[in-house]
Amino acid sequence: MVKKAKRMISTSDIFQITVLESPKWHPTEDEVIYVQLKPDQAANDYKHTIWRWREEWGAPRQFTNGGKMDFDPQYSPDGERVAFVSLRGGKPQIYLIRTDGGEAQAFTRMPNGVTGFSWSPDGKQIAFLSALTAEERRLEKRSAFPPLPPKDALDAKIREVEQEHKEKQRLDPRIHRGLPFKAGTDFVSDRYTHIFVVDVDDPNAKPRRLTDGQTDFTTPRWSPNGRYLWTTSVRKPALERFAESDVVRITVKTGESMRIVRPGFFTMEPKPSPDGKLLAAITMQEKSGFGHIPRLTVFTTTASGWRDLNLELDRSVGDYNHQSQFCWSDDSQGIYCTIQDSGYARVFYVDLASGKFSLVTGTNELIQTFSVNGRGDIAFVGRTVQQPPELYITRRGLQPRRVTKIHDEWLKSIRVAPTEEIRYTAPDGQPIQGWMVKPPDFNPKEKWPLAVNVHGGPHVMWSPAEHAVWLEWQLHAARGYVVFFCNPRGSDGYGDDFRSAIQNNWGQADMPDILSGVEAVVGRGYIDEKRMALTGGSYGGYMTAWIVGHDNRFAAAVAQRGVYNLMSFYGTSDVPRLIEGEFETMAFDDPEKMWHYSPFSYVRKMRTPLLLIHSDNDYRVPVADAEQMFTALKKLRRTVEFARYPREGHELSRSGEPEHRIDRLERMTAWFDKYCKPRKIRKK
């Protein structure tokens, strides 16, 4: 039998990569539930479905098939039911389904949907978030709350169209009274997320709202005795809607609230210990908080004894996507968490008595979400350089074992380019970590073009196992490029000093780290210095424009969703606080400083052919920055092109419409090819 030859990777392989999310152990059984997110080529969209795994099954089994999106599954405390959020009926609502079979039933029918929930410890109630305007809250008190969506599918669709029309009329014109006034891909609503509780087994029970006011609350977590809900809300909601947040304790019976403030810090994601004596949370410094590592902090429920656990370790708790991952041990004596370090994220256990961190599982994996059962077993979603996201199980004291095989057949059919770590020093002697991805048929005796990729953030961490970019690196290697990427100063995963080194010094502090890495790769003798390309997104787009405004060594560059004018960015972005934290000023108070650190101020020095990629609905880095850059370069008669994507936001490259993601990759590679002209790869 003739073995089928492997093919080169292509942009259409976007449809082959499935993402896994939200693994959770059954409370009493040896079972894990998780979400599978798969691109849907026919619909040019994605499908979220819930799956279950048991050892005796051999392979996971699909649990829901509700259409476009089922997510955030949570077992009831007795394990007999699963609650999850689904868009199968239009707006997101909580659904319940028994673990022994049957159809999922809608549990909530909130007019504006549900955005987060949690079971009470006894399983008799569910607390959830739903958004309302001030008028809707007033009507609710008078028992004149807007009617619930009908159960009939056709009637529901008609009602949805009617509600959308009324909503457009209500918001004409839009009136903004706070910041931010836009976020994600839309304008910020005048609805605020509030906490409701409802009895699970009473079909006539009406959700009871516990909170009020012009402020948002985050997903509540129950105290072990069921008396309280722990959540957060911003400190000054009249000033900024998404800013410094504090812990808030809500009394379930009365709705009475108590705010817990740590002076000089804001606090996120409070989680009570199983014995109810302590809280664990992520805290960030108010001043320059973005530039410093997030702290895993424990404190008493009466706001005393604040203790930061990871300062001596000098590493961040969380993952590449800024989602903190930590949970208490059942005995309340310690906390499990993911730690970012040198391109990877592993699960550690920190003992509260000693403060010592111990590795629980992970070697060269990027672990982004995990769950721990009562026996100390870990279920986690992990990515490696060779393996896209899969579900792994680590039995206590044993090595991790992969239990899903989602990508095996696909990987057997393609040629995966090898990844090589490279360590080098910046001009001032600072050690820097980087990686190279070489073409599958790489020959060091030949000359190859180079594609340099710069990460965003700025305070994130490239990992060679990050599959949101892995396909892009593999594609460029398959098209004949040596790919280089690194973690320059400002990156997470190397300590607080390293992370904060770019404060008040964007571009100038980290550009030498990137370019010295390029020189280290060129020094190996197989790179054609006349055929080098540069790209990056978000802060990586900033750095791409900054570099080509200061250095002419690249033959082509692609700046994606970049910040190019700090002054206009400050006034149009949903995160003006980023500028305040990174540069210790409001932009309008120091325009000279803003101009000095804006790539746009160096536009006359830009000679490199530049492709600008941006999204029309990017409200994190608004498209106006790209428009200004394009206009200036055209006026200067430089080589520039501008590709803008409708309906997309800042997450185009990661979760945009699949066809847009493919177009972006093809367009970028074509731009590289136009000016770097790589040789053709031999097909085998």
**How do residues 320-359 score in pLDDT, each as one tens digit?**
444 558 999 999 999 999 999 999 999 999 999 999 999 9
pLDDT of residue 568 exceeding 60, the answer is yes
- Whole-angstrom Cα distance, residue 116 to residue 99? 21
The whole-number average pLDDT for the span 643-670 is 96
Q: What is the pLDDT of residue 93?
A: 94
Q: What is the pLDDT of residue 321?
A: 47
The mean pLDDT of the chain is 92
pLDDT of residue 294 exceeding 80, the answer is yes
Q: What is the pLDDT of residue 67?
A: 66
**How do residues 374-385 score in pLDDT, each as one tens digit?**
999 999 999 999
**How do residues 171-198 score in pLDDT, each as one tens digit?**
878 888 778 888 888 888 889 999 999 9
- Domains of the chain plus CATH, in order, are 262-406 (2.120.10.30), 417-676 (3.40.50.1820)
- Whole-angstrom Cα distance, residue 421 to residue 435? 4
Q: What is the pLDDT of residue 150?
A: 55
Q: What are phi and psi of 80, to 5 degrees?
A: -85, -20
% of the chain surpassing 70 pLDDT: 94
One DSSP character per residue, 175-219 reads: ---SB-SEETTEEPPS-EEEEEEEESS-TTPPPEE---SS---PP
Dihedral of CA atoms 121, 125, 129, 130 in degrees, nearest 10, equals 180
- Tokens 């092109």 belong to 641
Q: Are residues 357 and 346 in contact, defined by beta-carbon separation less than 8 angstroms? A: no
Q: Which of 263, 355, 342, 283 is nearest to 312 (CA)?
A: 355
pLDDT of residue 148 exceeding 70, the answer is no
Q: Are residues 446 and 681 in contact, defined by beta-carbon separation less than 8 angstroms? A: no
Q: Are residues 473 and 437 in contact, defined by beta-carbon separation less than 8 angstroms? A: yes
Least confident of 119-128, 142-151, 226-235, 430-439: 142-151
- Residue 230 to residues 249, 273, 281: CA-CA distances in angstroms? 5, 12, 11
> Tokens at residue 27, please?
């409370």
Q: What is the pLDDT of residue 90?
A: 83
**How do residues 297-331 score in pLDDT, each as one tens digit?**
999 999 999 999 999 999 999 754 445 589 999 99
Secondary structure tally for the chain: helices H, strands E: 13, 38
The pLDDT confidence band at residue 139, using thresholds 50, 70 and 90, is: confident
The whole-number average pLDDT for the span 394-418 is 94
What does the radius of gyration of the chain's CA atoms come to, in whole angstroms? Answer: 26
First to last CA, the chain: 17
pLDDT of residue 138 exceeding 90, the answer is no
Q: Which long-range contacts (CB under 8 A, 24 or more apart) does 152-158 make?
A: 153/89, 156/89, 156/90, 157/90
Q: What DSSP designation does 628 have?
A: H
Query: Structure pTM?
Result: 0.94
